[in-house]
């Protein structure tokens, strides 16, 4: 992966980072768990502050899904500590997940968190990594747009259902406009399976079948 950012389906690159919870080795320290690594442009900025509060408000829900959160920006650890103290003292929310202090920018460069036209700050990037340390999703948001944390909860739930059941997850699940909270059966790859599908599942056609979980 040298010379380019990692891609979906690849192993998360090994990095040793300084965080507000001490030194951590990624992805090994989170093996056996899902984790969401998310970068933010800078400490003491308004949109980032709303994001950290939103993540913390849902932290227990993420933990129930065997998922940890890890923040990151190109700030020193002292800045992270002071900022989280400000959030605690002024917004009455204690940030309980670690924040990486990538003050050299090396981790951000390796993961593609610094984009042209956005200065030296990191964009709002998100990496979703599974318990086998495989990257399952990568999302990028511009600095001016805050993220939707409920979507990340939905993604984790969807990935876990897809992995367990061998199915696909429809749009807006579990509130899909066609199949509601049901899931999609992978399309048949041969004639015999295609003929059997409507006998086994509810189908609009042999290539669009669904079931409850």
**pLDDT score of 116 more than 90:** no
What is the pLDDT at residue 122? 83
CATH code of the domain in which 41 resides = 3.40.30.10
Catalytic choice (17, 36, 37, 48): 48
Q: How is 5-57 classified by DSSP, letter by letter?
A: ---TTSBPPPEEEEETTEEEEETGGGTTSEEEEEE-S-TT-HHHHHHHHHHHH
Residue pair 173/200 in contact by the 8 Å Cβ criterion: no
User: Is residue 7 one of the residues assigned to a domain?
Assistant: no
**How would you classify the pairing of strands 34-39 and 183-185?**
unpaired
pLDDT at 153 over 90: yes
Both 110 and 205 in one domain: the answer is no
Number of compact structural domains in the chain:
2
Q: Bridge partners of 202?
A: 210
> What average pLDDT does this structure show over 124-150?
95
Q: What is the pLDDT of residues 11-20, one digit of tens each?
A: 999 999 999 9
Please give the share of the chain, as a percent, with pLDDT higher than 90: 89
Structure token pair of residue 131? 């318990």
Residue 9 lies in a domain: no
Identify the CATH number of the domain in which residue 196 sits.
Answer: 3.30.1020.10
**Start-to-end C-alpha separation, the chain:** 37
Residue 73: name the closest of 5, 144, 156, 17 by CA.
17
Domain around 205:
166-211
pLDDT reported for residue 1? 41
Q: Are residues 130 and 183 in the same domain?
A: no
Q: Is 116 helix (H, G, I), strand (E, B) or coil?
A: coil
pLDDT exceeds cutoff 90 at 4: no
Mean pLDDT within 189-202 = 95
Q: Is residue 123 part of a domain?
A: yes
Residue 105 in any domain: the answer is: yes
The answer on 183 and 105 residing in a single domain is no
Q: Is 209 considered catalytic here? A: no
Name the pTM for this structure.
0.93
- What pLDDT, in 10s, does the model give residues 44-96? 999 999 999 999 999 999 999 999 999 999 999 999 999 999 999 999 999 99
Domain annotation covers residue 4: no
Q: What 3-state DSSP class applies to 180?
A: strand
Confidence band, pLDDT 50/70/90 cuts, at residue 125: very high
**Is residue 205 helix, strand or coil?**
strand
Whether residues 139 and 172 fall in one domain:
no
Number of Cβ within a 10 Å radius of residue 117: 6
The answer to whether residues 55 and 139 belong to one domain is: yes
Q: How far apart are CA 186 and CA 180, in angstroms?
A: 17
In a domain, 111, yes or no: yes
Helical pair 46-57 and 77-91, crossing angle rounded to 10 deg: 70
Write down the pLDDT at residue 123.
85
One domain for residues 30 and 116: yes
Owner of token pair 């509060």: 53
């Amino acid at each position: 992966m040298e010379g380019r950012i990692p891609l979906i389906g690849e192993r998360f690159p090994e990095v040793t980072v300084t965080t507000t919870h001490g030194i951590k080795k990624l992805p090994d320290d989170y093996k056996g768990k899902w984790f969401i690594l998310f970068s933010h442009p800078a400490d003491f900025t308004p949109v980032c502050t709303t994001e950290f509060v939103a993540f913390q408000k849902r932290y227990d829900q993420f933990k129930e899904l065997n998922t940890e959160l890890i923040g990151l920006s190109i700030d020193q650890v002292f800045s992270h500590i002071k900022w989280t103290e400000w959030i605690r003292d002024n917004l009455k929310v204690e940030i309980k997940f670690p924040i990486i202090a990538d003050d050299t920018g090396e981790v951000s460069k390796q993961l593609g968190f610094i984009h042209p036209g956005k200065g030296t700050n990191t964009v709002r990037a998100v990496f979703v990594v599974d318990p086998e340390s495989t990257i399952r999703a990568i999302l990028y948001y511009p600095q001016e747009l805050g993220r939707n944390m409920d979507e990340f909860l939905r993604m984790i739930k969807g990935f876990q259902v897809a992995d367990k059941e061998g199915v696909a997850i429809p749009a807006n699940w579990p509130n899909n406009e066609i199949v509601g909270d049901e899931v999609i059966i992978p399309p048949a790859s041969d004639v015999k399976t295609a003929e059997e599908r409507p006998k086994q599942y509810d189908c609009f056609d042999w290539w669009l079948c669904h079931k409850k979980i």
